[in-house]
Amino acid sequence: MKISIIGTGYVGLVTGTCLADLGNNVICLDINEQIIEDLTKGKIPFYEPGLEDLIKTNLDRGNISFTSSYEDAISFAETIFICVGTPEDDQGSADLSFIQDAVIKISDYLKDKDRHLTIFLKSTVPSGTCSSLQDKFDELLENSQSKVVVASNPEFLKEGSAVADFMKPDRIIVGTDDINVSELAKRLYRPVNWKSNRLKIVSIEAAELIKYSANAFLATKISFINEIAKLCDAVGADISEVRKGVGLDPRIGNHFLYSGLGFGGSCFPKDVKALIKTFTKNNIDTKILKAVLDVNDNQIDYFINKIHSVYTPKELKQKTLCVWGLSFKPETDDIRESLSLKLINSISGEVKHINAYDPVAMTRAKDSLSNIDNITFSRDSTEALQGADALVITTEWREFWNPDLESLEVLKDKIIFDGRNILDKKLLEENKFSYFGIGR
Ligand code: UDX
């Protein structure tokens, strides 16, 4: 099938590349010409395991190409996926302007043609967006032979495992009431759906809401366990034991119950806010989601207070902190809403120095933290420990899980603040380290 993808961010690039790998012919469009030039050479603008190799393979096979020309992309396509970003606007709602631009560009091309196109909208959008886009296309193409049908097809790709999530989906949601579109979706997704049927055809409004509800529910689990972790600190229980005991109930499950610094990234904070806005627009008060955000917004302060409980302001001013982890989670160089960066921004003025290290997010973090003058970016995790008084772990990269005790001995105060609960507390305490986790 000939497919065009509008937008080469995480969602568009992963979707386009995976569809190409499954035998389709794919053109990916982005208005950023530099990104397109790099992609044509097989260079991707972010770190996502497995993606660059898959792009190179499909470039070699001739299954994928990149363009900045709407004409090239639309003249080629039998089907279009819109995958542009919907960032948070000033009011906390989803900013739909990139989608609206795409609608205008597509209509402009189609208006003097006779083409029938299906558009799957993958961008995360509030309920009602797909039908208003359909109205917009109908209006713009009123005097044209061309016709566009808009369907909702939300993405459920986790950064760091996005290729695997596309190829082995836990569900594929398509919102449409058009039988031809559902047949098209079945054909498109057949290679990843033939083992067991995970494709659900639902109404457009339900599809839009499934996406927001899923992210909001996962965010709720995280804020819930972070609140329980505080209680663990207060009563002397270990959150790891509580989490495992609670998660054994199959009605609850053991996923997304890891306490830490709170949720970050490009999706959860933005999507929970946008869902709250949708509630408000519909005159419904959402107490739960407001509390989820509130707990999350305060979680980093809760952690920083642990540092304050150990050091007086005067002592802290003499201390060098080693910070391991800068990306918002492991296996990505994405620093959007990174709790690590929030922590550094918040505490850098109170400490003497910060030694920071991340396996892949250093370049992005350096740009973002260029306002801070008492930070050094180290070449590796061991170098970052040199000269430090205490270690602060902010992202649970695999290489941080089992550090060599000897290398930790260089910490002058032998203190570790573990914001992701990944280290062996018992072992560290046996070796005379002071350990502070979240809820343990
Ligand atoms: C999320 C959704 O999981 C995915 O389905 C959706 O399509 C896009 O948004 P992503 O933002 O890549 O994916 O990251 P995810 O793995 O969901 O983690 C989000 C945040 O929650 C991270 O900051 C992570 O550290 C935090 N988290 C996750 C916890 O604090 N505890 C947990 O138990 C799980």
Average pLDDT over residues 233-247: 98
Q: For the segment 359-413, what is each residue's pLDDT rounded down to a tens digit?
A: 999 999 999 999 999 999 999 999 999 999 999 999 999 999 999 999 999 999 9
Triad 49, 54, 56: Cα angle to 5°: 120
Share of the chain above pLDDT 70, in %: 100
Q: What is the mean pLDDT of the chain?
A: 97
Query: Does the structure show a pLDDT above 90 at 88?
Result: no
Q: For the segment 249-292, what is each residue's pLDDT rounded down to a tens digit?
A: 999 999 999 999 999 999 999 999 999 999 999 999 999 999 99
Number of the ligand 1 atom closest to the C-alpha atom of 214: 5
For residues 283 and 245, give the distance between their C-alpha atoms in angstroms, rounded to a whole number.
Answer: 38
Closest of 151, 67, 74 to residue 108, by C-alpha = 74
Query: Does the structure show a pLDDT above 90 at 301?
Result: yes
Q: Are 140 and 107 in contact (CB under 8 A)?
A: yes
Average pLDDT over residues 35-46: 96
Return all residues near 5 (Cβ < 8 A) that are at least 6 apart: 12, 13, 15, 16, 19, 26, 27, 28, 29, 80, 81, 83
Q: Dig out the tokens for 332 from the structure.
A: 């990505």
Q: For the segment 103-133, what is each residue's pLDDT rounded down to a tens digit?
A: 999 999 999 999 999 999 999 998 899 999 9
From 28, 232, 267, 322, the catalytic residue: 267
Q: Dig out the tokens for 68 from the structure.
A: 């900045």
Listed in order, strand segments (DSSP E) in 230-360 are 320-324, 353-357
Which domains are present in the chain? Answer: 2-202 (3.40.50.720), 204-440 (3.40.50.720)
Pocket of ligand 1 (CB under 6 A): 155-159, 215, 218, 222, 256-258, 260, 263-265, 267-268, 328-329
Q: Is 118 in a helix, a strand, or coil?
A: strand
Tell how far the Cα of 246 is from the centroid of ligand 1, in angstroms.
20
Tell how far the Cα of 385 is from the centroid of ligand 1, in angstroms.
28
- Known active-site residue 267: yes
Triad 273, 80, 66: Cα angle to 5°: 100
User: How high is the pLDDT of residue 92?
Assistant: 82
For residues 15 and 13, give the distance between their C-alpha atoms in angstroms, rounded to a whole number.
Answer: 5
Give every strand in the sheet of 2-6, ordered side by side: 64-67, 25-29, 2-6, 79-82, 116-121, 147-152, 172-175, 199-202
For residues 133 and 150, give the distance between their C-alpha atoms in angstroms, rounded to a whole number.
Answer: 7
